[in-house]
Amino acid sequence: MSEAESDSPLVVTNALLVTQDAGRRVRVGDLRVEEGRFTHVGPHAPREGASVIDGHGFAVVPGFVNTHTHVAMAPLRGIADDRDLSGFLETLFRVDARRTEPDVEAGARAGVAEMLLSGTTSFLDLYYFEDAIARAVERLGIRGFLGWAVLDPALTTQHGDPVDNAKAFIARWRGHPRVTPVVAPQGVYVCSEETWLRAKELAAHEGTFCHFHLSETRREVHEHEAKTGRRPAVWLDQIGFLGPGAVAAHAVWLTGEEIQLLGRDGVGVAHCPNSNLKLASGGVAPIVELRAAGVPVGLGTDSVASNNSLSMLREMHSAGLVQKNQRWDATVLRAQELLDLATVEGARLVGRAADLGSLEVGKRADFSLFRLDHPTLVPARAEVIVSHLAYSATEEAIDSVYVDGRPVVRHRSLVHGDWGRIRKDAESAAETLWADKGP
């Protein structure tokens, strides 16, 4: 199918539809896509004027929404493994300070390719040089919610004022169909009260939201408490920063009071279990309590420097197992809830619950075709497909991926990019970045 043909109606027939609709129905049926949206989900889709895909032997799954990453760090995979957070950050800060826009773009293309090949169709990013990342989004066909990193001017390597840079970035990409600019204050350790409130004001003025790191480690919490007399979430609430639509990453070290604050203020949380485990954050994010308090929770991979993967399938697996083990309760965070975190709840976090995250008429046609004959999906039964996705499926089970009803991965190959070229550029960027990474 050519790019021109991909704009014509598309019908997928006789597939196992993991709808993620309000009833969480799994059914055999058809999909019809027109102008980037689902116009039919169920039996006997009209085929007039459409390209038709025989979906027999496939499960159709909504595209995953990765709610926290630093996608351009793909060339840094493995650069600071097996170190505590302070040693990890020492290396990352040294390397980050030397990055250029071209190598950020090369890294972003590699990271986007990895996400698409593992079924992620939308992601929420936090970094700088976000124009380079936006170009990778535009080129490869994914959907990006791109947060320009904001911190105090005295603490940044950016040229100019970071809040002003974020404002200019938003102006350059406002209205793009697949790029949503976001304001991203880095964290309490590099942002003053003034910077937090300027970031919030900018987001409100531009009709977007703020994405930030929160209470990832005990050290972060204790140092901020020693400095201000308040834990981070309490302090952010008291200065007037927290509010509906804001998305906090990590949120591992929270008290009951802070959990209630996040729920009351309408703040979402991006849970990043693999990154937290690998960096030995030492705690388990209180996901069950957060959800009980009404906090929207999605899943994020964080970067490949700390994960070391961008696979949302792996993230689902880990999120469920860690919560069950930590609580001595195999019934918490069930398979259906894990899939919810990766799809409909992720869409809710980025403010797009109305048009992303499920296979429903009127929503954007972002979805993946999983091969039901893949070993990790056997037995291919409707009653266990959600469990397979949460606990056993691997990326190789994904045959094709669509964004806005257009193919971005077909038969395990990128449609809008040459992996050989992307890999070569990422390796070239790594060659320079690794040269002075230090001990």
Mean pLDDT of 234-254: 97
Report DSSP letters for 187-198, one per residue.
-TTT--HHHHHH
Which of 119, 29, 10, 20 lies closest to 359, judged by CA? 20
pLDDT in tens, 110-129: 999 999 999 999 999 999 99
- On the 0-12 / 13-18 / 19+ scale of CB atoms within 10 A, 22 is exposed
* Least confident piece of the model among 82-91, 166-175, 220-229, 326-335: 82-91
Amino acid 4: pLDDT: 34
Side-chain-facing half-sphere of 394: CA atoms under 13 Å: 6
pLDDT top residue among 224 and 96:
224
Report pLDDT digits (tens) over 138-157. Answer: 999 999 999 999 999 999 88
Structure tokens at 319: 């999120």
Mean pLDDT of the region 373-390: 97
Give residue 380's pLDDT: 95
**What average pLDDT does this structure show over 312-333?**
97
Using alpha carbons, list the distances in angstroms from residue 160 to 151, 155, 164, 236: 11, 11, 7, 25
Based on the number of CB atoms within 10 Å of its own CB, is 254 exposed (0-12), middle (13-18) or buried (19 or more)? Answer: buried
- For position 96, what pLDDT does the model report? 84
Percent of the chain whose pLDDT exceeds 90? 91
Residue 7 above 80 pLDDT?
Answer: no
Residue of 50, 55, 62 lying closest to 14 (CA atoms): 55
Residue 3, pLDDT above cutoff 70: no
Instruction: Give me the mean pLDDT over the 258-284 stretch.
Output: 95
Asked if the model's pLDDT at residue 305 lies above 90, the reply is: yes
Q: Burial code of 343-374, b = ≥16 C-beta within 10 A, e = fewer?
A: bbbbbbbbbbbeebbbbbeebbbbbbbbbbeb
**DSSP run (H or E) holding 167:** helix 162-173
Is the predicted pLDDT of residue 190 greater than 70, yes or no? yes
Q: How much is the pLDDT for 6? A: 52
- The share of the chain scoring above pLDDT 70, in percent, equals 98
Overall pTM > 0.75: yes
Residue 240 burial by CB count (10 A; 0-12/13-18/19+): exposed, middle or buried?
Answer: exposed
| DSSP strand pairing (413-414 vs 143-150) | unpaired
Q: Is 4 exposed, middle or buried (0-12, 13-18, 19+ CB in 10 A)?
A: exposed
Residue with tokens 């056997």: 378
What is the rounded CA–CA span in Å between residue 236 and residue 151?
A: 15
Beta bridge partners of 214: 250
Q: Quick one: pLDDT band at residue 1, thresholds 50, 70, 90?
A: very low
pLDDT at 5 over 50: no
Residue position matching structure tokens 């002075």: 436
Residue identified by tokens 């998305």 is 247
All domains of the chain, ordered by start, with CATH?
Answer: 3-62+354-414 (2.30.40.10), 64-349 (3.20.20.140)
> Average pLDDT for residues 347-359, to the nearest whole number?
98
Give the distance between the most distant pair of CA atoms in the chain. Answer: 67
First-to-last alpha carbon distance for the chain, in angstroms, is 49
When pLDDT is cut at 50, 70 and 90, the band that residue 2 belongs to is very low
Given a contact cutoff of 8 angstroms between Cβ atoms, the answer to whether 389 and 376 are in contact is no
